[in-house]
Amino acid sequence: MTQTRIMLVDDQALLRVGFGMVLEAEDDFVVVAEAGDGAEAITKAAQTRPDVILMDVRMPGVDGIEATRRITAAQPESRVIVLTTFDLDEYAFGALRAGASGFLLKDAKPSELVAAIRAVASGDAAVSPRVTRRMLELFGSKLPSALPTPDADRLAMLTDREREVFTAIAEGLSNQELATRFFLSESTVKTHVGRILAKLELRDRVQAVILAYELGLRSH
């Protein structure tokens, strides 16, 4: 059985212990490293190459936003889930723009924590596009983005239908809602979304939502 390798980053040791106990109870998870701040996280991520990193954002010194930016730039195969204390957190959104694949409340149920890690490890995102859209509305103009902006040629690679789907993703539509809007099966929608991500060199739907906003391809 292939195990998902996880690193825990939080300046509170008790929280790391608690998360570790929950995760180690799962046969397909193994905690390979812990860090108490962003600088240590960057070093240990390079040493251990974890599949998923649970990252606190509010830490002294190098915070979780900067640590996320550096780690995802250096090793894009490592996915980051941001830990936050409230759901519309400017710090958490800053980390999403820096390359995180989702965020999770620190008081999430163990089942929610496990599900989020499995989702991110499989290449999905651990935050809904609708929540990402709301965060963009609140904080989008305040924070810089680490996403590469595709050139015109790359955007031109999208078919007309893919461009329609890309724009609809920015509205926060789920795959089921996309399927209803475009009279497609959910499997066809998933194929379109996968091709869009590949052509635009994006990690997941969260990045697609952010990029669509940055390019002005959103519906009001």
Q: What is the pTM of this model?
A: 0.76
Structural domains present in the chain: 4-128 (3.40.50.2300), 152-214 (1.10.10.10)
Low-confidence ranges of the chain (pLDDT < 50): 220
Residues 181, 168, 163, 195, CA torsion sign: negative
**pLDDT tens, residue by residue, 194-214:** 999 889 888 888 888 888 777
Q: State residue 172's pLDDT score.
A: 74
Which residue reads 């789907």 in tokens? Answer: 165
% helix / strand / coil in the chain, to the nearest 5? Answer: 50, 15, 35
The per-residue pLDDT for range 143-183, each reduced to its tens digit, is 566 666 666 667 788 999 998 999 888 777 778 888 999 99
* AA identity, residue 211: L
